[in-house]
Chains A and B, each alone.
Chain A
Amino acid sequence: MNLIIEGIQKAFFLIFTLDAEVLGITLLSLQVSGTATLISLFIGISVGTAVALSRFPGRQLVVSLINTGMGLPPVVVGLFVAIFLWRNGPLGFLEILYTPTAIILAQAVIATPIVTGITLASIQNLPVNLRLQILALGATRVQMVWLLVKEARLPLLAAVMAGFGGIISEVGASIMVGGNIRGYSRVLTTATVMETGRGNFDVAIALSIILMLLAFFVNAILTQIQQRERPR
């Protein structure tokens, strides 16, 4: 019990004294997961909308793959991203293994199916004739897609929350492709794993609390936007 209390005290000490290393780790976590979320939103909303609005042979299989992808184990993603980025791998020439960029790539791979799946479901849940109604209002195809996405904005905010929440807290892929290099590719989750391994439970608890607060504040802001948009 003392260990937990000491951990909490340490957390607040680290936060309020603006510990340089913890601050750096926290900012890198935000930067990496934020960028990965933006990438996944761009790809996920585009692909999800395209699949939702089109009919093609094998569509059912594509939808099944997207839904399966929503539960991709981060370590599996980490393994394959590492293989691709390995010196002799197909993307080895990029030389980004064990860099924050590699973590962004891995996290984007984890979050994209989540955003795609939620986008697909959101667009499909809109009234069937809404698409025709928008076209009847004189919209071009691009305007129609924009208006549909805008109409599905509340569930899409849930996609942002699910995507960001999924990757800010994952550790497997980050440690495999980022390498947990101090002051370079160390993020909150990888640092927590390392400190726990070293027996520095107070620091590990402190990092965990910071991680949870970070996830809470980001989701609180998104929830605030979502609830303000919600019809009352």
Chain B
Amino acid sequence: MNPGTHAEALLRNKRIVRGGDGSGYPLDPAAVALPPESRPEILLQAENLLVRRGGATVLDIPAFDVHPGELLALIGPNGAGKSTLLLTLACLLKPSRGRFSFNGREIDAGRGDVEYRRRIAMVFQEPLLFDATVFDNVAAGLKIRGMGREEIGRVVPGYLELFGIAHLTKRSARKLSGGEAQRTSLARAFVTKPEIVFLDEPFSALDPPTREALIGDLERIIRETHTTAVASTHDQTEALRLADRMAVMNGGKIVQIGPVAEVINRPADGFVASFVGVETVLPGRVLRSSDGVFTAAVEGGEIQAVGHLRPGERVLCCIRPEHVTLSTNIPPPGTSARNAFPGTIRKITPLGLFNRVLLNCGFDLVAYVTRQSLETLSLEEGKRVIASFKATAVHVIPRQEPRQT
């Protein structure tokens, strides 16, 4: 989409507030992006991306799409290739092979396409601010684009306000706290009206309260400005909170990508399951199956789950901790749960609003319970309880038979 079309679309939607000089630069930060209905179906498309470093493949992505207006989270452990993918997509790292297009236009990653880089923005884990005031830092991208001083003076304050750093305008960037510095870095990225923002673990260096506040503000700003964003994180709760879609990466590959709920509830394999917070992953084998419900033998017990699987098939049974219910009665009354296991509480770990309870039911099973439930049931380490969960709460991942050697 050319800039003229973008501006026309903004005007049609009457969401732009023109500057006093008639330059058309939006003073209202919320008016920086096209409304969802005006957007193409795919904003960024990559094919056969391959990045090799020192003879090793660090990124191998056959296909990757970003839809306009969405927030796509890349999650995975350190070294999974998240940053490499973001740097490649931001035209900051030349891939060994592959191509990508933005809004239908092919991007020449090899030449370091300046025009493309002026339509995107990237925020790193470190704020990487210049040795200048907060105002000058936020204005940096606009100066690079040749915007006049007067116009910069009109545009920047809105973004300082938006990111809650208006009171720091004249402060040296060297004197900011971690959270203030990252807010400045985010304002610097958003002030250029990027069509897509790449966020490389922008919260990971912050303390929990600062991170919490910043995530909340960023979520609001991204939604209000309809900005498309791709954010990497190794914290699945950040991804859950922010993202529309989630891509789980491991070893330079995307092992699963889809809507957040789908990835969380239907992990493609054991790695994804463990990474997205499915704390109980039990390898097993189907014993019997009828009417869409099967029984699988796992180490220390039998689990009923939903699915059309044949006896003998190998499976991974994934159970999310929030789907496990604990009770002290045998059997738990008034429940449709088909799985109930007596077990002993091995460890209780407070996690703020709830507690993580690790049970030994013949196999390790994790449940989350509220503090209130903990007190009502008098749960304590060593106590015998009944853990129950529905057959529908078990996500089943079919496994390949091990290769014969």
Contact = CB atoms under 8 A, between A and B. Distances in A.
B128 A129 contact: yes
B87 A143 contact: no
A150 B130 CA distance: 9
B90 A136 contact: yes
B124 interface: yes
B141 A138 contact: yes
Contact of A136 (B117, B145, B174): B117
B188 interface: yes
Interface string B169-186: 000101100000000000
B80 interface: no
Contact of B188 (A129, A130, A137): A137
Interface in A123-151: 127, 129-130, 132-133, 135-141, 143, 147, 150-151
A130 B114 contact: no
Contact of A151 (B130, B175, B198): B130
Contacts of B112: 135, 141
A147 B130 contact: yes
Mostly helix, strand, loop or mixed at chain B's interface?
mixed
Given A151-B131, A231-B174, A132 B114 contact: no
Nearest to B93: A132
Interface in A151-202: 151, 153-154
B92 A135 contact: yes
A224 to B, nearest CB: 18
A137 B92 contact: no
B120 A129 contact: no
A232 interface: yes
Contacts of A137: 121, 140-141, 144, 188, 192
Contacts of B131: 151, 153-154, 229, 231
A127 B129 CA distance: 10
A135 B172 contact: no
B126 interface: yes
Choose among A135, A140, A147 the residue with the greatest number of B CB atoms under 10 Å from its CB. A135
Identify which of A132, A143, A153, A229 gathers the most chain B CB atoms within 10 Å of its CB.
A132
A139 B128 CA distance: 15
B128 A138 contact: no
Q: How large is the interface on A (under 10, 10 to 19, 20 to 34, 35 or more residues)?
A: 20 to 34
A130 B129 CA distance: 8
B118 interface: yes
A127 B185 CA distance: 15
B391 interface: no
Given A130-B128, A133-B124, A138 B172 contact: no
B74 interface: no
B172 A231 contact: yes
Given A143-B144, A231-B172, A232-B172, A138 B126 contact: no
Interface string B348-381: 0000000000000000000000000000000000
Nearest to A132: B92
A231 B128 contact: no
Given A129-B128, A232-B172, A138 B92 contact: no
A129 B141 contact: no
A138 B130 contact: no
Contacts of A133: 122, 124, 128
A138 B131 CA distance: 19
B188 to A, nearest CB: 7
A147 to B, nearest CB: 7
Nearest to A150: B130
Nearest to B91: A135
B21 to A, nearest CB: 22
A136 B172 contact: no
Contacts of A150: 130
Contacts of B126: 127, 129
Contact of B144 (A127, A130, A138, A229): A138
Given A130-B128, A151-B130, A232-B172, A138 B90 contact: no
B173 to A, nearest CB: 8
A139 B124 CA distance: 16
Interface in A34-69: none
Contacts of A127: 126, 128
A229 B133 CA distance: 11
A78 B144 CA distance: 44
A153 B130 CA distance: 11
Contacts of A130: 128
Nearest to A129: B124
Given A133-B122, A231-B175, A139 B144 contact: yes
Given A130-B128, A231-B175, A136 B122 contact: yes
Nearest to B122: A136
A143 B120 CA distance: 17
Interface string B183-215: 000001000100000100000000000000000
Interface string B136-180: 000011001100000000000000000000000000101100000
Closest 9 CB pairs of A and B: A231-B174, A138-B118, A136-B122, A133-B128, A137-B141, A231-B172, A132-B92, A139-B144, A138-B117
22 contacts: A129-B124, A129-B126, A135-B112, A135-B117, A136-B120, A137-B121, A137-B144, A137-B188, A137-B192, A138-B118, A138-B141, A138-B144, A138-B145, A138-B192, A139-B144, A140-B114, A141-B112, A147-B140, A151-B130, A154-B131, A229-B131, A231-B172
Given A132-B122, A147-B130, 4 more contacts: A127-B126, A132-B124, A137-B144, A139-B114
